[in-house]
C-alpha cells in the first residue's frame, strides 16, 4: 500500500505474531503468506469489498430494498455513512444477468445540480449520468447490461456496461430552497428490469461494525468475495494472490491465531486511524480526499472511503474534506463550541461551481445526529449571515452562541465525539489541485 506506512503496521515482537512463529520454526519461512506486510495488505484490500457486501446485506435484509427498484429516501433520512443532506438521495441496487438489461429513467432537470452516480461492487465509480458527462443525452433512458452483453437495448436508451452482475446507483437532486420541486423530480427517477434476471444473492458474512471490524474470519470467505466481482484496480491480480495465500495458510490453527492477533492488536487500529487522518492530503487538520471515486492502485484509500463515506463520488463531481480534530489536533467533541471562520476572500462559495455543504456526523459510525432543529447541514442555500468584514463564521456547538448568528449554527451532539465533512460540488481547480483546504476548526469554549 503506497498510502500506508507499513513499519507502523508491524506487530510488536513482544506479542504473539506470525514473525514469532517463523522464528520458532513452526511454519515454513519461505511462505509469503506469513509475512506481516502481506497479511496487512491482503486484509486491507479484502476489507474494501467486504464493506460493500455489508452495505448490500444491510440494504436488502435490514431495510428491505428490492433489486431493480429505486428507493427514494425521505428528506433528512439516509441510512448509509456520511450522506449529503443538501440533496435528495435515491438508491438502487442494479442486478442484471447475461440476457436481461435494467433500464433507468432520468427526468429532465434544469437549473439545479443532479447526478445519477453508478458504482461497481468494489466502490469504484463507473460513471455519473448528468449533463456534464452525457451532454448528448443528459436525461431519458439508460440501459445497464452485463459484461459482454450482445443483445439489444430499448430504442433511444444509452447502453452502460457494468463490471459484474450488480452495481449501485446513488441519484441526487439539489434541494436549493424549493425541496418540493426537487422531490417531484426525484420521484420521476425509476428503474425496471426487462425480464427476471438471475443473479447471485448477497454474500453472507459475519456481522461487524466500524468500531469492531471483522478479523481473521474475513479470509474464510476470501474466494467467494474475490470471484463475486471484477476489480479494476491495477494491483488487483497481485493483491488477490496475497489474499488467497493468506486464506490458505490460516487453516493452520497456530497461524490463524497469530494472524488474528496481528489484525486486532495492530493492523485494524492503525487502519482505523489511517482512514480518518491519513487517507489523503492534509492541512489545518482536514483530510482532503483528492483521490476519490476512482482510485487507481490506491486500494487502501478506497477501503478507507468505503469505511467512512461509502459510495464516494469521483473527484470531478465532488471533493470531500473530512476532519475529526480541531485546529490544535484534539478530537472534536460535542461538549465544546467551535467556529469555522472563512476569510472574506476565501468564502465557501468561491471554491465550488455548484454547491458547498458542511455536514456533521457521529463517530465511529459516521451517521447524521438528530437535533432539535432538524438541521443537519449548512450549505450554499442556507440563510447564513456574514460578518461586517465580509467573512463567514459557522458555529458548531451543542447550543447557540451569541458571538455567531443562529442561522450559522450547526448543532453538535453533547457528550459525544463527531466528524465534519465539507463538500465542494463540481469543485474549482484550486480545490481539485489540492491547494485549497477549509480553515482550522477553532475552539471558542465549552
Residue ending a domain, among 168, 193, 218, is 193
Q: Is the pLDDT of residue 76 over 90?
A: no
H helix intervals, 34-178? 36-57
Distance CA(122)–CA(128), nearest Å, equals 16
Q: Please report the pLDDT score of residue 12 as a whole number.
A: 33
Q: 402-413: per-residue pLDDT in tens?
A: 999 999 999 999
Q: 412-428: per-residue pLDDT in tens?
A: 999 999 999 999 999 99
What are the phi and psi torsion angles at 243 (to 5°)? -60, -45
pLDDT averaged over the chain?
Answer: 89
* 63 within domain boundaries: no
Which cell is 17 given? 505474531
* 120 within domain boundaries: yes
Identify which has the larger pLDDT, 312 or 440.
440
Same domain, 254 and 359: no
Which cell is 412 given? 453538535
Q: Please report the pLDDT score of residue 81 as a whole number.
A: 58
Q: Please report the pLDDT score of residue 11 as a whole number.
A: 32
Confidence of residue 10 (pLDDT cuts 50, 70, 90): very low
Residue located via cell numbers 438489461: 101
Residue 127 host element (H or E)? strand 125-129
Residue ending a domain, among 158, 193, 228, is 193
Q: Among 135, 113, 115, which Cα is nearest to 125's?
A: 115
Confidence of residue 77 (pLDDT cuts 50, 70, 90): low
Which cell is 325 given? 480534530
Residue located via cell numbers 472574506: 344
Residue 15 host element (H or E)? none
Same domain, 134 and 211: no
Confidence of residue 358 (pLDDT cuts 50, 70, 90): very high
Tally the residues of the chain. 446
- Give me the CATH number covering residue 392: 2.60.120.600
Which residues are CB-contacts of 356 (< 8 A; sequence separation ≥ 6)? 348, 349, 379, 380, 422, 423, 424, 425
Same domain, 42 and 92: no
* 294 within domain boundaries: no
Same domain, 163 and 234: no
Radius of gyration of the chain (CA): 23
Confidence of residue 104 (pLDDT cuts 50, 70, 90): very high
Q: Region 92-120: what's the mean pLDDT?
A: 97
Distance CA(259)–CA(362), nearest Å, equals 31
* Residue 196 DSSP one-character state: -
Q: 326-357: per-residue pLDDT in tens?
A: 999 999 999 999 999 999 999 999 999 999 99
Q: Region 4-21: what's the mean pLDDT?
A: 38
Same domain, 48 and 81: no
Confidence of residue 386 (pLDDT cuts 50, 70, 90): very high
Q: 32-52: per-residue pLDDT in tens?
A: 447 899 999 999 999 999 999
Q: Is the pLDDT of residue 432 over 80?
A: yes
H helix intervals, 91-152? none
Same domain, 180 and 98: yes
Q: Is the pLDDT of residue 25 over 70?
A: no
**pTM for this model (two decimals):** 0.82
* 396 within domain boundaries: yes
Per-residue CA distances from 64 to 162, 187, 235, 291 (Å): 24, 19, 35, 32
Quickly list DSSP for 208-246.
Answer: --SSS---GGGGGGHHHHHTTS----TTHHHHHHHHHHH
Q: Helix, strand or coil for residue 445?
A: strand
Taking each helix axis from N to C end, the angle separating 236-249 and 36-57, rounded to the nearest 10 degrees, works out to: 100
Q: Among 124, 125, 128, which Cα is nearest to 49's?
A: 124
* Residue 371 DSSP one-character state: -
Same domain, 334 and 375: yes
Please state, for a pLDDT cut of 90, what percent of the chain lies above it.
Answer: 74
Q: Is the peptide bond before 210 cis (omega within 30 degrees of 0)?
A: no
Q: Helix, strand or coil for residue 254?
A: helix
Strand segments (E) across 234-334? 281-283, 286-288, 318-323
Q: Region 149-164: what's the mean pLDDT?
A: 97
Cβ atoms of residues 146 and 193 within 8 Å:
no
Our CA angle for 93, 320, 334, nearest 5°, is 100
**CA dihedral over 331, 337, 341, 347, signed as positive or negative:** positive
Cβ atoms of residues 292 and 312 within 8 Å:
yes
Residue 424 host element (H or E)? strand 418-427
* 281 within domain boundaries: no
Query: How many CB atoms neighbour CB 413 within 10 A?
Result: 18
Distance CA(43)–CA(242), nearest Å, equals 9
Q: Among 82, 156, 172, which Cα is nearest to 362's?
A: 82
Q: Please report the pLDDT score of residue 368 as a whole number.
A: 83
* Residue-range definition of the domain harbouring residue 380: 317-445
Which residues are CB-contacts of 199 (< 8 A; sequence separation ≥ 6)? 67, 95, 96, 97, 165, 166
* 247 within domain boundaries: yes
Same domain, 228 and 249: yes
Same domain, 221 and 263: yes
Same domain, 95 and 172: yes
Q: Is the pLDDT of residue 201 over 90?
A: yes
- DSSP β-ladder status, 441-445 and 337-342: antiparallel
Confidence of residue 6 (pLDDT cuts 50, 70, 90): very low
Please state, for a pLDDT cut of 70, what percent of the chain lies above it.
Answer: 91
Same domain, 77 and 161: yes
Distance CA(172)–CA(117), nearest Å, equals 8
Q: Is the pLDDT of residue 30 over 60?
A: no
Q: Please report the pLDDT score of residue 362 as a whole number.
A: 87
Same domain, 403 and 330: yes
Q: Is the pLDDT of residue 26 over 60?
A: no
Count of domains observed in the chain: 3
Amino acid at each position: 500500500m503506497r498510502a500506508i506506512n507499513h513499519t507502523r503496521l508491524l506487530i510488536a515482537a513482544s506479542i504473539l505474531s506470525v514473525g514469532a512463529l517463523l522464528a520458532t520454526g513452526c511454519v515454513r519461512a519461505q511462505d509469503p503468506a506469513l509475512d506481516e506486510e502481506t497479511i496487512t495488505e491482503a486484509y486491507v484490500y479484502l476489507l474494501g469489498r467486504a464493506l460493500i457486501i455489508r452495505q448490500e446485506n444491510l440494504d436488502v435484509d435490514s431495510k428491505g430494498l428490492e433489486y431493480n427498484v429505486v428507493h427514494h429516501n425521505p428528506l433528512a433520512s439516509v441510512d448509509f455513512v456520511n450522506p449529503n443532506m443538501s440533496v435528495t438521495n435515491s438508491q438502487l441496487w442494479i442486478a442484471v444477468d447475461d440476457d436481461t438489461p435494467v433500464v433507468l429513467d432520468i427526468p429532465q432537470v434544469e437549473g439545479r445540480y443532479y447526478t445519477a452516480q453508478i458504482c461497481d461492487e468494489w466502490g469504484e465509480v463507473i460513471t455519473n449520468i448528468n449533463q456534464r458527462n452525457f451532454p448528448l443525452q443528459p436525461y431519458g433512458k439508460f440501459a445497464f447490461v452485463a459484461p459482454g452483453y450482445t443483445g439489444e437495448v430499448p430504442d433511444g436508451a444509452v447502453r452502460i456496461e457494468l463490471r459484474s452482475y450488480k452495481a449501485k446507483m446513488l441519484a441526487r437532486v439539489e434541494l436549493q430552497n424549493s425541496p418540493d420541486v426537487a422531490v417531484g423530480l426525484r420521484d420521476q427517477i425509476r428503474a425496471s428490469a426487462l425480464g427476471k434476471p438471475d443473479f447471485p444473492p448477497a454474500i453472507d458474512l459475519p456481522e461487524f461494525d466500524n468500531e469492531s471490524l471483522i478479523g481473521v474470519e474475513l479470509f474464510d470467505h476470501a474466494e467467494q468475495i474475490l470471484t463475486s466481482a471484477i476489480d479494476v484496480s491495477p494491483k488487483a491480480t497481485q493483491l488477490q494472490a496475497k489474499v488467497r495465500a493468506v486464506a490458505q495458510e490460516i487453516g493452520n490453527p497456530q497461524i490463524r491465531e497469530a494472524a488474528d492477533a496481528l489484525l486486532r492488536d495492530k493492523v485494524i487500529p492503525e487502519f482505523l486511524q489511517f482512514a480518518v487522518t491519513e487517507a489523503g492530503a492534509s492541512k489545518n487538520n482536514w483530510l482532503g480526499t483528492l483521490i476519490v471515486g476512482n482510485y487507481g492502485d490506491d486500494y487502501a484509500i478506497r477501503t478507507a472511503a468505503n469505511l467512512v463515506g461509502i459510495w464516494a463520488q469521483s473527484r470531478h463531481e465532488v471533493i470531500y474534506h473530512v476532519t475529526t480534530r480541531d485546529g490544535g489536533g484534539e478530537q472534536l467533541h460535542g461538549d465544546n463550541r467551535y467556529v469555522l471562520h472563512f476569510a472574506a476572500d476565501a468564502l465557501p462559495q468561491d471554491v465550488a461551481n455548484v454547491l458547498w455543504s458542511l455536514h456533521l456526523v457521529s463517530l465511529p459510525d459516521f451517521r447524521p445526529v438528530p437535533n432539535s432543529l432538524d438541521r443537519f447541514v449548512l450549505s450554499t442555500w442556507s440563510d447564513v449571515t456574514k460578518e461586517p468584514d465580509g467573512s463567514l463564521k459557522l458555529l458548531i456547538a451543542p447550543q447557540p452562541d451569541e458571538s455567531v448568528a443562529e442561522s450559522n449554527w450547526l448543532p453538535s451532539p453533547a457528550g459525544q465525539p463527531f466528524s465534519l465533512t465539507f463538500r465542494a460540488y463540481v469543485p474549482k481547480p484550486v480545490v481539485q489541485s489540492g491547494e485549497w483546504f477549509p480553515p482550522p476548526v477553532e475552539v471558542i469554549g465549552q
